[in-house]
Amino acid sequence: MGAVKSPISKDTFRFFQQLSRNNHKEWMDENRERYRACVVEPFRKLFEELCPGVLELDSEFDVCGRTGANFSRINRDIRFAKDKTPYKPQMYLKFERSVPGDGETGQLYVGIAKDAVTTGFRIYSGGKRKESMLAVVAQARVEANSKWMAQQKKRLSRKYESYWYNTVKGAWTRHEGWPTDVEDWRKIQAWIVRKKLKPGDATRATFPKEILKTFKELYPLLKLTSIPD
């Protein structure tokens, strides 16, 4: 990667720690420049370092560098949320293919919070599951080749945790493990495969390389669930 050190530093984690204790507009206004220096700029540098390797995986990945497309928003949408604090004390860097309309597709991502680092693959059905990639692409493929998921579990389960969600009696419900049953895929609304890292791992010069290794290992999951023939 050619990096002397990771773009992420202890200052990034320190900012999120302090934000979680002072999650209000007045504090953020006073620390806006710190936010740019400790979060925005490091994440953009990490994005720039990852882009060449990501495009080698798939030249159709969206690398526009915009918030929403590649970076999560720090402002929380509190309209329907139980948590009414205005900011999210974490940031995600993500790569996905663009799809027509407002549909959601699978993502390769890395997330940093006040005391945690995660990297992996995730996909959500969004508001209309019947029209989502999970229903139109992923479900059809799993039904056509039911052994594929078991093969991926065997390949990846020692290094990555897997869990998925569906709605049970109107409640968003988490299920641990790999959704290997075809019946699961007829109701699944989200699927996450990830591994957890220590904060110190993110500050090492090898961090971008480790992320790209994870992306390469999990790209087949994105391809299965999100890329039509």
Is 39 part of a structural domain of the chain? yes
pLDDT at 174: 96
Is 47 part of a structural domain of the chain? yes
Q: Say which CATH number the domain at 36 has.
A: 3.30.930.20
Reply yes or no on whether the pLDDT at 183 is more than 70: yes
The number of folded domains in the chain is 1
Is 89 part of a structural domain of the chain? yes
Dump pLDDT digits (tens) for 205-228.
999 999 999 999 999 999 999 988
Is 14 part of a structural domain of the chain? yes
Cβ contacts of 100 within 8 Å, gap of 6 or more: none
- The residue-averaged pLDDT of 162-185 equals 93
pLDDT at 21: 96
DSSP 67-104: BTTTB--SB---SS-S---SB-SEEEEEEEB--STT--
Is 118 part of a structural domain of the chain? yes
Is 5 part of a structural domain of the chain? no
Is 1 part of a structural domain of the chain? no
pTM of the model: 0.93
- The residue-averaged pLDDT of 132-137 equals 88
pLDDT at 100: 64
Dump pLDDT digits (tens) for 60-107.
999 999 998 999 999 998 777 777 899 999 999 999 987 766 567 899
Q: Name the residue range of residue 177's domain.
A: 10-226
Is 3 part of a structural domain of the chain? no
